[in-house]
Amino acid sequence: MKPDYSLYLVTDRMRMSTRTLGEAVEQAAAGGCTVVQLREKEIPSLDFYVLASEMKKITDRYGIPLIINDRIDIAMAVGAAGVHIGQKDIPADIARKVIGKEMLLGVSVASAAEAVNAVKAGADYLGVGAMFPTETKPDAGFVSMEELGRIRREVAIPIVVIGGISRENAMLFKPMGIDGLAVVSAVIAESDIKKSASTLRSLFWGKEDLI
What is the set of active-site residues? 39, 108, 137
Between 26 and 65, how does the x/- string for binding to its own copies read (CB under 8 A)? ----------------x-xxxx-x----------------
Nearer to its own copies, 20 or 87 (CB): 87
Count of residues touching its own copies (by CB under 8 A): 23
Contact assessment for residue 122 and residue 96, using Cβ atoms and an 8 Å cutoff: yes
Position 89 contacts its own copies (CB under 8 A): yes
Check residue 114 for interaction with its own copies (CB under 8 A). no
100, exposed or middle or buried, with CB in 10 Å at 0-12, 13-18, 19+?
exposed
Residue type, 177: G
> Any contact of residue 71 with its own copies (CB under 8 A)?
yes
Contact range with its own copies by CB under 8 A, out of 85-93, 131-139, 145-153, 154-162: 85-93
| List of E strands, 79-191 | 82-85, 104-109, 125-128, 159-162, 180-183
Q: Which amino acid is at 50?
A: V
State the Cα–Cα distance between residues 202 and 76, nearest whole angstrom.
Answer: 33
How many angstroms separate the CA atoms of 162 and 160, rounded?
7
Q: Is 90 a binder of its own copies (CB under 8 A)?
A: yes
Q: Which of 71, 147, 72, 154 is nearest to 120 (CA)?
A: 154
Task: Decide if residue 122 touches its own copies (CB under 8 A).
Answer: no
Minimum distance from CB of 98 to its own copies (Å)? 5
Report if residue 121 touches its own copies, rule: CB under 8 A. Answer: no
- Contact between 70 and its own copies (CB under 8 A)? yes
Helices (H), strands (E): how many in the chain? 8, 8
Q: Is 87 in the site for its own copies (CB under 8 A)?
A: yes
Q: How many CB atoms lie within 10 A of CB 147?
A: 17
For residue 118, state whether it binds its own copies (rule: CB under 8 A).
Answer: no
Q: Where on the chain is the footprint of its own copies (CB under 8 A)?
A: 42, 44-47, 49, 70-74, 76-77, 85, 87-91, 94-95, 97-98
